[in-house]
Amino acid sequence: MVASAGALVKITTEADLAYAQRRPGKPAPANAVLIDANENPLGPCTEACSAIAALGAKGGRYNFGLSQELVRTFADLEGLKPEYVRAYAGSSEPLHYTVMAFSSPAKSVVVADPSYEAPGRSAGYSGAKLHKVPLTKDYAHDVKAMVSADPNAGVIYICSPNNPTGTITSRSDIEYALANKPKGSIVLVDEAYIHFADAQPVLDLVAANKDLIVLRTFSKIYGMAGLRCGFAVGRPDLLAKLDPYGWNFMPVPAVIAAMCSLKDKTLVPARKKINADVRDETFAWLTANNYSFVRSQSNCFLMDVKRPPRQFTDAMEAKNIYVGRTWPTWPTHVRVTVGTREEMAAFRTACKEVMDMPVQATYYSVPAPTPFLS
Ligand code: PLP
């Protein structure tokens, strides 16, 4: 019997907890295919790995100047003044700081739905109201609806390419948001996945002094999710509200690896092509099998598994393939990260077997809790 999401039965909270903790509490086997967290299976580039290995005893020093050198390098590459850039250990930190700085019980946060949930969690801390605006039929952010969602909005969060759909919100829409947003609010554009897509980045709008903060990370195309490095890019008066120091003592391995990554001019185009080739191969297979999915420009995509998502993810996990998570708005869609060609071949074999299984009427009615966001 095909069950609608509402008719499903939740089994136990203990089971939910065990499921949520499977990665920290029950590490995936060494040979597992990990396509659940939007990481890059290629890891840091070769030069970054060699530089970190050579770091050794220098790790005993603060190396104060290194973080500033990284900031200067990135600023030069992007045509920005260094004071418009701050480095952090990943982009989660400045995302959280930005929402905390510009929202409050009187200043709400506006996000798309489905989209990356981190701003919503930060809004929970700042006591801000959260407005969730459905994506358009093309899966872009509905910026017109977002800017008019609340005249007292403090933050309008645009994730482009969007996590989880991998779809783009056009630059002209972002310009519209900047021109029409409520007075005193900022637009927070999350470009975590920008290097995978053909979209036009918006860092030049920061240089033009708009009310905009852009987030960048080394966790995705640069393969440095565990090394932790990212940037907040914005007007100095906006960045000053994020944290009082002006710059961070960054972990030295992260800074060294980020510098190597930025200096390698072939890295981004080469990895963009590798991801696009494997993604297109996967989409061709999904289409040939009549599986429904959202055509993404990123390193992940949503697939409609037409069953309780945890029936799908559990069955895949039993075959050693760890796929990603679910958003309540679209309760039968599961996010899959694009892995290597070999990993996606294993995904296809397991996916077909699991999709051929009968749909179970009673399964977990709620998506797995998500302790860690990625
Ligand atoms: N923004 C988006 C859209 C993400 O998907 C993620 C992680 O997956 C992040 C930000 C945070 O990444 P990190 O803190 O590793 O830079």
- pLDDT tens-digit readout, 100-148: 999 999 999 999 999 999 999 999 999 999 999 999 999 999 999 999 9
Are residues 278 and 250 part of one domain?
Answer: no
Q: Judge contact between 334 and 293, C-beta under 8 A.
A: no
311: confidence class by pLDDT, cuts 50, 70, 90: very high
The response to whether residue 311 sits with its C-beta less than 6 Å from ligand 1 reads: no
Ligand 1 centre from 55 Cα, in Å?
27
Are residues 50 and 199 part of one domain?
Answer: yes
363: confidence class by pLDDT, cuts 50, 70, 90: confident
Smallest Cα–Cα separation from 329: which of 38, 148, 117?
A: 117
Q: What is the mean pLDDT of the chain?
A: 91
Q: Judge contact between 214 and 191, C-beta under 8 A.
A: yes
The response to whether residue 299 sits with its C-beta less than 6 Å from ligand 1 reads: no
Cα–Cα distance measured from residue 220 to residue 257, given in angstroms and rounded to the nearest whole number: 13
Cα–Cα distance measured from residue 131 to residue 149, given in angstroms and rounded to the nearest whole number: 7
Are residues 96 and 21 part of one domain?
Answer: no
Are residues 200 and 71 part of one domain?
Answer: yes
Q: Judge contact between 334 and 313, C-beta under 8 A.
A: yes
Please determine, for residue 5, whether its predicted confidence score (pLDDT) is greater than 70: no
Residue nearest to atom 1 of ligand 1 (CA): 192
Low-confidence winner among 165-169, 202-206, 213-217, 369-373 (lowest mean pLDDT): 369-373
Are residues 167 and 311 part of one domain?
Answer: no
Are residues 234 and 182 part of one domain?
Answer: yes
- pLDDT tens-digit readout, 25-82: 567 787 899 999 999 999 999 999 999 999 877 788 888 899 999 999 999 999 999 9
Are residues 63 and 147 part of one domain?
Answer: yes
- pLDDT tens-digit readout, 210-240: 999 999 999 999 999 999 999 999 999 999 9
The boundaries of the domain holding residue 302 are 2-38+268-355
Are residues 333 and 304 part of one domain?
Answer: yes
Cβ neighbors of 222 (< 8 A, separation 6 or more) are 40, 44, 45, 257, 258, 261, 267
- Residue 304 in 3-state DSSP? strand
The response to whether residue 90 sits with its C-beta less than 6 Å from ligand 1 reads: yes
What is the CATH classification number for the domain harbouring 156? 3.40.640.10
- pLDDT tens-digit readout, 260-298: 999 999 999 999 999 999 999 999 999 999 999 999 999
φ, ψ of residue 269 to 5 degrees: the values are -60, -40
Which residue among 86, 88, 91 is best mutated to probe the pocket of ligand 1, counting the most ligand atoms within 8 A of its Cβ? 91
Tell me the Ramachandran region of residue 373: left when phi exceeds 0, alpha when psi lies from -120 to 50, beta otherwise. Answer: beta
In a domain, 371, yes or no: no
Q: What atom in ligand 1 is closest to the CA of residue 374? A: 8
What is the CATH classification number for the domain harbouring 345? 3.90.1150.10
The response to whether residue 117 sits with its C-beta less than 6 Å from ligand 1 reads: no
Ligand 1 centre from 90 Cα, in Å?
8
- pLDDT tens-digit readout, 51-62: 999 987 778 888
pLDDT of 366:
63
369: confidence class by pLDDT, cuts 50, 70, 90: low
Are residues 245 and 105 part of one domain?
Answer: yes
pLDDT of 7:
38
- pLDDT tens-digit readout, 144-179: 999 999 999 999 999 999 999 999 999 999 999 999
Number of domains in the chain: 2
